[in-house]
A and B are shown apart, each in its own frame.
Chain A
Amino acid sequence: MTTTAPAAPTVAATGRARTATRRRSPARRRSTPLTIAMLAALAYFLLPLFWLAVASTKSTQDLFGTFGLWFSRAPQLLSNIRATLTHDHGVFLHWMLNTMLYAVGSAVGAAMLAAAAGYGFAKFRFRGDRAGFNLVLGAIMVPTTALAIPTYLLFAKVGLVNTPWAVILPSLVSPFGLYLMRVYAQDAVPDSLIEAARIDGAGEAQIFFRIALRLLAPGLVTVVLFTLVSTWNNYFLPLIMLSDPSLYPITVGLSSWASQTAGGGSGANSDTVVLVVTGSMLSIVPLVVAFLLLQRYWQSGLATGSVKQ
């Protein structure tokens, strides 16, 4: 790995340097037109979320009767939240818990499997290792939804549909996660360190769990976050796998509420609109907060995926 000595502006030697430490001088000029353009873009991306925050404080009547992008005169966020959480014997809380179970179970499982296999492929030579890795690599291109219907058909045959396993199991296999972990393990775990541990008499499992896993942690966090988001946001797979509403994750649950409001929500079920809006708002809070808190991890993780190729 190249060291990034700041006082070495020789071009040829540093062309391959991957690590970047760039400190910009504080007295830098800023561009006002560019800032305004970026703030306009920011407004577009935040507009729907602002609408959602406003809408979740409104009654059904105000939702349709007042201007959508500003608060009404009688905000009732708390009673909306209460209505959402207690509707249908608290099924919304059930969905929240299901989502967490599916997302955390899949993410941790997928990351551990990918870490072990990535380490195995990166640090050991054995018969068929190339073929095995290339087989999995080819599967990165296979779209998950094209796989979902075949998986449903198979799971229906063996009686796994309409169980939590139907959602968790398919999310455990992450070809892209394996690819990331292999690339990561190659550099992050030095061969000399493994060799030294062997000489000290450590077993292979011990080396992996005690030494390698710690060095792989940043890559591991990336795979956890990726899988967490994709399972949390997954809609198609649980939609086809689950028929029992008490097993739904939040996405399928919200969608089922929304389907009761079809036709503009002015019919008999119009109060459900409030539930859909407030439920949507509640459902995005955990992930948005997690992303803001874990910034450092996912930003460096995404860098690994895009730079190390």
Chain B
Amino acid sequence: MSVITARSSRRTAGPLFVAPFLLLFVLLFLAPLGYAAYLSLFEHKLIGGTTFVGLDNYVTAVKDPQLIHGVLRVATFFLIQVPVMLVLALLFALALDSGLVRLARVVRLGIFVPYAVPSVVASLMWGYLYGPDYGPFAQLSKALHVPVPHFLSSGWMLGSLANIVTWEFVGYNMIILYAALRAIPHELYEAAAVDGAGAWRTAWSIKLPALRPALMLTLVFSVIGSFQLFNEPNLLQRLAPAVIDSAYTANLYAYSLAFISQQINYAAAVSFLLGLVIVIVSYAVLLTANRRRTP
């Protein structure tokens, strides 16, 4: 190959490597968003057909009590479930990394295994376990003559859903944090030991700061996961239709708008808004966390 063709192939190679990804990104990421944005500007009526209504759908959406309730509910869910999940993941990761636990490998894998279980199966299993008639907790309560816990009642439901999600994802987050802990150079520990730092002091002054990037990653993924909560409530809905209505979470509401009541244009506006809320919350979380680092 001559020098000239080699040089020109080098110039075109970069764009060629990234082209397939970017092409699909445009077709499957930007195009749907653009199309949804376009659709959200119209309204379809049985009489009169489709008409351009500008931002009317968005005006309706921000005042829609069902959507607001759905968003507030997932926000509550986020504020309760995510701290519990991440604190548990952090404690487990620190415990396993401390080297004080026997059978550490078995424990680590066992806690991680739920990640490999589809959320559909997780929800089905917990749904049976929660059952007020035949679930094992109900059976135990009856045998011990204590009141049967009503996991599927309206007061308990959000907690029951949080339990399923926590069960699914603690292990995943634990592994990410654990991997970050293993990457801390051993010399730092030796230096801390020379300085007379105990286990707690080492955890606080060396391990936690080193975990920052990993914690940010898990936190942002948790924001995204919480706000689009769908699978678990969708499956528990059948067990408790009176508790989980079609607008229980924002995403359930978008789904029922698009596929049950067939309000395509309004559904497009709602999914668009929901995506926007998630992006804003993710960035807000990132910014607050980053500001705290630099005093």
Chain A residues with CB under 8 Å of chain B are: 4, 8-11, 14-15, 17-22, 24, 28-32, 34-35, 37-39, 41-42, 44-49, 51-52, 55, 63-64, 67-69, 113-114, 116-117, 119-121, 123-126, 129, 132, 135-136, 139, 141-154, 157, 169-170, 172-173, 175, 178, 198, 201, 203-205, 208, 229, 232-233, 235-236, 240, 250-252, 254-255, 258-259, 262, 264, 276-277, 280, 283-284, 287-288, 290-292, 295, 298-300, 302-303, 305-307, 309
Contact = CB atoms under 8 A, between A and B. Distances in A.
Contacts of B115: 229, 291
B228 A116 contact: no
B114 interface: yes
Contact of B128 (A11, A37, A55, A120): A55
Contacts of B4: none
16 contacts: A9-B191, A10-B187, A18-B183, A31-B100, A34-B100, A48-B126, A67-B139, A136-B25, A141-B283, A149-B36, A153-B35, A153-B258, A201-B6, A240-B259, A258-B238, A306-B214
Given A68-B136, A280-B125, A302 B182 contact: no
B63 interface: no
In order of increasing CB-CB distance, the 3 nearest A-B pairs are: A124-B14, A120-B17, A150-B36
A138 to B, nearest CB: 8
Nearest to A45: B111
Given A14-B187, A34-B100, A35-B103, A151 B217 contact: no
Given A14-B185, A39-B107, A30 B101 contact: yes
Given A236-B231, A240-B255, A303-B179, A143 B113 contact: no
A24 B189 CA distance: 12
B16 interface: yes
Given A116-B21, A204-B10, A235-B120, A154 B217 contact: no
Nearest to A16: B185
Given A302-B176, A307-B214, A24 B282 contact: no
B116 A303 contact: no
A159 B113 CA distance: 38
A45 B96 CA distance: 16
Contact of B129 (A51, A113, A135, A252): A51
A56 to B, nearest CB: 11
B267 interface: yes
Interface stretch (B48-56, B154-162, B271-279): B271-279
Nearest to B39: A153
Contact of A302 (B107, B119, B175): B175
B21 A145 contact: no
B28 A139 contact: no
B180 A288 contact: no
Contacts of B119: 233, 235
B87 interface: no
Contacts of B79: none
Question: DSSP class of B's interface residues: helix, strand, loop or mixed?
Answer: helix
A151 B258 CA distance: 12
A299 B182 CA distance: 11
A306 B176 contact: yes
Nearest to A201: B1
A255 B17 CA distance: 40
Contacts of B190: 9
A49 B71 CA distance: 32
For A114, A150, A290, A309, the residue with the greatest tally of chain B CB atoms inside 10 Å of its CB is A150
A161 B99 CA distance: 52
B125 A20 contact: no
A28 B118 CA distance: 38
Contacts of B39: 153
Contacts of B220: 141
A299 B171 CA distance: 12
Given A17-B185, A208-B17, A299 B175 contact: yes
Contacts of A11: 187-188, 191
A300 B254 CA distance: 38
B293 interface: no
A37 B121 CA distance: 27
Contact of A117 (B20, B113, B182): B20
A202 B258 CA distance: 53
B102 interface: yes
B23 to A, nearest CB: 10
Nearest to A194: B10
A178 B10 contact: no
A150 B125 contact: no
A115 B278 CA distance: 28
Contacts of B182: 20, 22, 303
A259 B184 CA distance: 48
Contacts of A302: 175-176, 179
Given A142-B279, A287-B117, A303-B180, 10 more contacts: A19-B183, A35-B100, A45-B170, A129-B14, A145-B230, A147-B271, A149-B255, A151-B28, A169-B28, A303-B179
